[in-house]
Structure 1
Amino acid sequence: MTNVNEARSLGFFLLSVLVLFLSIIYITQATSIGDSVTVTGALTVSGATTLNGNGTLGDTATDVFNFVGILQASSTLNVTGTSRFVGSVGVGTSTSMTSGVVLGLHGAATTTLTLGTDSTTGGSCIQMDGTDGAIYRIYAAATTSVTKQLVIENGPCN
C-alpha cells in the first residue's frame, strides 16, 4: 500500500506542478493590463490597436508625433494652436475626398484664410475649375510698390 500511496502523492505533486506551469503560461499571455503602464524608450506595437477613453500624447509644446499613412478622425478633430500641413490637404464630403470638395470657414468676427510662401519672390495662388471646363487662377500682383492688383485669369497656378 505504501507504494500506491507514494505513487498517488507523486502523481498529485506532478499534476500540481503541471497546473501551476500552465497557469503561469496562461497569465503571461494576458491581453489586458489593469493598472498604468510606463514605458521608457521606444514602444512598437504591431497590428491593430484600440485605445478607449481619454488620452494625452506628449507633455510639452515641442513634442512631435509622426503619423505615416492616414490619420482619420471618425467624428471631430479638434486642433488647438497652429496647424501646419505640408503637401495636400483634402477636405471633402463623406463620399469623396477628390470630388464634391467643400471647405468652410466660420468665425464670430473676421474669418481669415491665409495663403503664404516661404519665398521672398514667390506668391500664393488659388486655382479653380470653371463651369466651362477651363482652369482659372486668382493671385495678387504688384508691378510697383504703389500699383497692386488682384488678377483673375485663365490657366493653372505654377
Structure 2
Amino acid sequence: MAKKQKIVSVRIDPGVMEEVEKAAKEEGYSSPSSYIREACKSRLGGVSKALEEAEERILELLFQQSQHIHMMQKIAIVQYQAMNIFMKLYLTYTPEIAPEEMEASIARAKTRYRKYQDDVAREIPDRPSAYFDRVIRDFEKLGVKFDFD
C-alpha cells in the first residue's frame, strides 16, 4: 500500500519555474513536480548531482595522476640503472689523469661540458635555454654542482 503524499503549495518566480521545467525535461523527469521532489530529497540528503559529478571528475583526475606518477617512477628507476651502468663502465675503463695534465684536462672538460649542455638544450622543444637553466637551478638547490671546479 502506497503512502499518501502531502500536497504542498510553493510560490516560485516565473523565471525560476521556466528553469525547473527545462531541467526536468532535459533530465528525463515526468513532470516539474517530480524534479522538485527529487531536488528536495537530494538537498535534504546532502547530495547533489553537481557534487557527485565533481567528485567523479576529481576521482578520475586523481586516478590519471597516480598512473602518471607510477609511470614516472618507472622511468626514474630505468634512468638510475642506466646511469649506474654508465658510471661502472666509465670508472672501469677510464684511466685517472696525471696531476701535471689535470689543469688542461679540466679546461677541455669545461668546453666539452658546455657543448653537451647546448646539445641537450637544443633537443628540448619549448624554450630550451630557459628550461635547461631551470633544471640546473633545481639541481643546485639540491647541492648538485654543474662545474668541474
TM-score band by shorter chain is: under 0.3
| TM-score (norm. length: structure 2) | 0.26
| TM-score (norm. length: structure 1) | 0.25
More helix by proportion, 1 or 2? 2
More strand by proportion, 1 or 2? 1
